[in-house]
Amino acid sequence: MRGVTRRRVAVVGTVTVVLAGIGVWNERRTLADGAIASELARRGVRATYRVADIGFRWERLENIVIGDPRHPDLTADWAEVRVAATLGGLSATEIRAGGVNLRGRLVGGKVKFGDIDKLIPASSGIPFTLPDITVDLADARIALATDYGNVGARLDGQGNLSNGFKGKLAAIAPTLVLSGCRANRATLYVDISISARKPTVTGPLRANAIDCGAAHFRKPALALNVALSEALDHWRGTSTVGLKTLSLGSQIFRDFTGWGAFEGSPRATNGSAQVMIASSTTPFATLAGMSVDAKFGVRGSDLDGRGTVKAMQVVLDRRYVAQLKSVRANGTPVGPLLKKLSDAASSAIQNLAVSVDVGGQVRGSQMSGIVTAANITTLRGMKLVVGGGQGVRFGAQGLFADTQAKLSGGGFPTIAASFRRGANGVTSGVARIEPYAANDARLTVTPVQFTVGGDGRARVLTTATLDGPLGNGRVIGLQIPLVLALSGGNIALNPGCTPAAFRSLSMSGLHLDPNSLKLCANNGGLFSLKNGRINGGATIISPRLTGRLGNSPIVLGAGQANVALSDNRFTMGNLGVKLGAADHLTTLEIGALNGAFVSEGGTGKFENLSGKIANVPLLIDSGVGNWTLNNGVLTLGGRAGVSDEAKSVRFNTLVAEDVKLRLASGKIAMTGMLREVSTNADVSAVAITHDLGNGRGHATLDVAGLNFGKTLQPEKLTPLTLGVVANVAGSVSGKGQIDWSSAGVTSTGRFETKGLDFAAAFGPVAGLSGEIVFTDLLGLVTAPGQTVSIATINPGIPVPDGRVTYHLAAGQRIIVEGGRWPFAGGSLILDPTTLDMGVSRERRLTFRVDGLDAAKFIQQLEFENLSATGIFDGAMPMIFDDQGGRIVGGKIAARSGGGTLSYVGDVSNAKMNVFAKLAFDALKAIRYNNLVIEMDGALDGEIVSKVSFRGVNEAPRNEKRGYFARQFSNLPFIFNIAIRAPFRGLLATARTFQDPSSLLRGLPIPGATVPDSIVTPVKPIQPSESEKRP
């Protein structure tokens, strides 16, 4: 309790307990003359007492009360003073008292005892010494009230105060609050002894707990042994220290033991201490032992200290071990370095030995410290040494350093750093890091320049050059300047735009040329740590890379690439790849690609993918899906459109579903299913392999069963069949193979169909079967001699069992080598021709009739009322163009010798004129010497057929005829008949032969105009002069 004078302490401890004794000793006056009352009055002391006995040697007072009677400063049951005669008069030689209670207050750093203070004489300037007086106190109690808390004490003791006094002092404070600390139940139990006027105090000072903000002391104890000088102005002592636990926030230190020694005076006290801590647990680490060896000095409110702190078997929390072990960047240039460094760090933090030489100062409310040396070692050989110069200082003015540091061994890089404090208070320095290597990775850095301000803000500058693995490849000479800013635990790396360059880069057969890129920081830096959260990233504008993929040149580019470290994600826009020489260029474009970095690579999505593989005339577009990069293996899954590159499209766009692509060790493998877009019908399974090293690859197309019907028609797959075939029913199966290399692209295929039905412009086709072998599948080219069999074609008349030979030529041309069908005793022949399907132009087909037997033809048609004989030949030229199909100049004619034509049926409901009846009678038996059928017109419109034949009507045998009819027997007749009807209705011609009344009914009466569509005017058979006369 600062400010209490030595005289006040002496009086309180010895004299003031007995008023009479104090007066006798100090004033050298006898008490026997009854002057006590007058002396108290003179000093203004309020007091009451009873003089119980006054003798020659002893004086006894009882019921002593000093101060305000309601709140007395001192009370005593009794007090006895022994006096003796000396040369100077009577003096008190012994004081005894019982039931003493003394009350005081600590005010302004001084102890006040009320009216008792008025009995204390003024200082005489003579050095204080304990008086030669014997005291005997039993159960003397002191109550001291302070602003910090109340203190109660008890003093028991006896003996001469100058030599031989022995006593015990016990004090207790239920609660003390001082300088932000709160002590709970603080106690003091000491033995007091005095020898040669020099007191000695021994005993423990304890508390249940002391709480100082975040610091919590449990069961602190000091065992004191203090010796004071005769004048009480100097002390020397020792103490032992004990503390059960010290909690600093979440840090716990257990079982403190220690020893201390000190010596001093009211002006200053110096000492030393050694403290051992059995163990410590923090959220960050545990330690098996800790020691502090320190020296200290106290001058008033100032405190100075210095010493060495040692910690043994420091083990950081397992979380940090796990985090460090999880720090991996496999497949990246820093991967081996990070693994080596994280392995070294995770091993080091499991058993650290730490020794730090520190110093500290307290000046009022200001605190500062200094680290003059530090030594941290591990069992694996890591060593960090800090020392030299003026050390590292920290405090209210900030952090300053003037020292050297070196890190080496244990798998860590060797680093030597020097720190210097400038005149402006900024610490600057240089760190030299030796090349750091692990397996096939190597890192070198230029001398690291750094500055540290008094506010703790730091800035680090260097340039790093890195060699290391990249996937299954390698990067060499990756160089990047580094600007690191640190402030208050926050970190920002390269906050602006940074040029990065490399000498070479290779991965999965990709070899990039030397290049440089500008990395512009996002969110505070290429890497940033703020408030414990990782952030930062980079934007690369229009990157462009060149090199080789295998033996092929490659160009890589993008509109923009962004990387965000807060969520380990990145995005790329307008990514483009060009692979190969100009004559076999492979291209790939991705509109948007995004993903996230994971421990073994990355994963994400892509969209708007398009491209083309070398000379393969196929285009990929609208690709969407997912991608994954794992340990250098790239996999993709999704869907894309596949279309024909040719200007004259050979097939419509297909969609590739269930696409799975894998890129590993420079080889691409892909599978998928090609489907028709609108119906989602399976068209072909596809499997592709490609070697990026040599540019070779192949694709297999497997058509398991392409089924045509109501849902799927060929025109949904290819425009080449539009207007050529329709209503296709049946299936096609087969396989195709596409191979490519730097030399070019080849493709083959073999497909077949069995029983395919369809409608063609010339009529329905049923049962088409055959196999087609492509020598150039992509070019739709086959070898000559491809053959299909056709069960039936029906251009109005069923024609069975046909066979067509053809082949496909470059330029989407169909070369018809010929076709033949057996037809009514003769043949129906398809002439050789070329159909150019690649351009809009006329396509011609010519069907020929060779040796058609009219009798068999009539029999084939099953016409019961019509009979005919004769052999016919002819041709049916057909032209197909944008306007459709049409017959041009079709003609079928009877061979030389003619034949017969006879209608043997009845004419039903015939209302005919004479000439119609005459023509009808002629048709009952005509021998013709020529018969010609001519056809022209659109296949999907009206066909104009002209039937012309010339012959003689033969009089039927055994038939009764009228006179007029008999006159026209055996006369020549010429028939010219024009029929207009759809192509499919031409068999109405046959109906006119089966029931001619439908035709003859339209003949005009004599004198009427004859329509051209019915009869073509002819000359008389012979002149009238030769006519037969009756």
Indicate the residue among 130, 150, 179 that finishes a domain.
Answer: 130
- Confidence band, pLDDT 50/70/90 cuts, at residue 15: very low
CA angle 394, 397, 400 (to 5 degrees): 45
Give the Å distances, CA to CA, from 259 to 227, 242, 276, 294, 837. Answer: 17, 9, 9, 11, 108
Give the Å distances, CA to CA, from 985 to 743, 797, 1014. Answer: 57, 10, 18
Question: Hey, is 7 helix, strand or coil?
Answer: helix
Supply 142's token pair. 């002191």
Domain assignment present for 905: yes
- Confidence band, pLDDT 50/70/90 cuts, at residue 530: confident
Number of H-type helices and E-type strands within the chain: 10, 67
Reply yes or no on whether the pLDDT at 933 is more than 80: yes
Q: What is the mean pLDDT of residues 739-746?
A: 83
Reply yes or no on whether the pLDDT at 600 is more than 60: yes
Give the pairing of strands 134-146 and 101-107: parallel
Domain assignment present for 406: no
Q: Residue 917: what pLDDT?
A: 62
Q: H-helix or E-strand containing 598?
A: strand 586-598
Domain assignment present for 64: yes
841 φ, ψ to 5°? -155, 175
Q: Residue 1020: what pLDDT?
A: 34
Reply yes or no on whether the pLDDT at 293 is more than 90: yes
What span, in angstroms and rounded, lies between the C-alpha atoms of 329 and 444? 18
What is the maximum span of the chain, computed from C-alpha positions, in angstroms?
218
**Tens of pLDDT along 425-443?**
788 999 999 999 999 899 9
CA-based R_g, the chain, Å: 62
Number of C-beta neighbours around residue 109 at 10 A: 9
Domain assignment present for 517: no
CB 146 within 8 A of CB 173: no
Question: Which of the residue ranges 655-664, 704-713, 846-855, 996-1005 would you say has the lowest mean pLDDT?
Answer: 996-1005
Q: Residue 915: what pLDDT?
A: 59
What span, in angstroms and rounded, lies between the C-alpha atoms of 440 and 374? 34
Q: Residue 912: what pLDDT?
A: 59
State which residues form the domain around 1008: 849-1026
Write down the mean pLDDT value for the chain. Answer: 82
**Tens of pLDDT along 138-182?**
899 999 998 889 999 999 999 998 899 999 999 999 999 876 789
The residue type at 456: G
82 φ, ψ to 5°? -100, 130
Q: Residue 1022: what pLDDT?
A: 32
- Confidence band, pLDDT 50/70/90 cuts, at residue 955: low
- Confidence band, pLDDT 50/70/90 cuts, at residue 323: low
Q: Residue 22: what pLDDT?
A: 42
- Confidence band, pLDDT 50/70/90 cuts, at residue 999: very low
Supply 999's token pair. 């035709």
Domain assignment present for 114: yes
Indicate the residue among 130, 146, 165 that finishes a domain.
Answer: 130
* Total domains present in the chain: 2
Reply yes or no on whether the pLDDT at 1030 is more than 60: no
133 φ, ψ to 5°? -145, 145
**Tens of pLDDT along 866-916?**
788 899 999 989 887 777 778 899 999 999 888 888 866 665 545 556 556
Question: Which of the residue ranges 388-392, 614-618, 715-719, 1022-1026 would you say has the lowest mean pLDDT?
Answer: 1022-1026
Domain assignment present for 865: yes
Indicate the residue among 87, 110, 130 that finishes a domain.
Answer: 130
CA angle 483, 489, 495 (to 5 degrees): 25
Supply 495's token pair. 């906050």
Supply 318's token pair. 């397992």
Q: Residue 294: what pLDDT?
A: 93
Supply 330's token pair. 């496999």
Could you tell me what percent of the chain has a pLDDT over 70? 83
Domain assignment present for 843: no
Could you tell me what percent of the chain has a pLDDT over 90? 39
CB 924 within 8 A of CB 956: yes
Q: What is the mean pLDDT of residues 470-488?
A: 87
Name residue, tokens 């060790």. Answer: 665
DSSP 312-377: EEEEE-HHHHHHHHH---TTSTTHHHHHHHHHHHHHHTTSEEEEEEEEEEEETTEEEEEEEEEEEE
Reply yes or no on whether the pLDDT at 233 is more than 90: no
CB 568 within 8 A of CB 589: no
Domain assignment present for 490: no
Give the Å distances, CA to CA, from 233 to 133, 167, 228, 699, 792. Answer: 21, 21, 7, 104, 136
Reply yes or no on whether the pLDDT at 1019 is more than 50: no
DSSP 655-702: EEEEEEEEEETTEEEEEEEEEETTT--EEEEEEEEEETTT--EEEEEE
**Tens of pLDDT along 816-867?**
999 999 988 899 999 999 888 767 778 888 989 999 998 888 777 666 677 8
Q: Residue 7: what pLDDT?
A: 42
Question: Hey, is 117 helix, strand or coil?
Answer: helix
Name residue, tokens 């003037």. Answer: 402
CA angle 522, 527, 530 (to 5 degrees): 95
Q: H-helix or E-strand containing 904?
A: none
Reply yes or no on whether the pLDDT at 33 is more than 60: no
What span, in angstroms and rounded, lies between the C-alpha atoms of 737 and 702? 9
Reply yes or no on whether the pLDDT at 30 is more than 90: no
Q: What is the mean pLDDT of residues 108-125?
A: 78
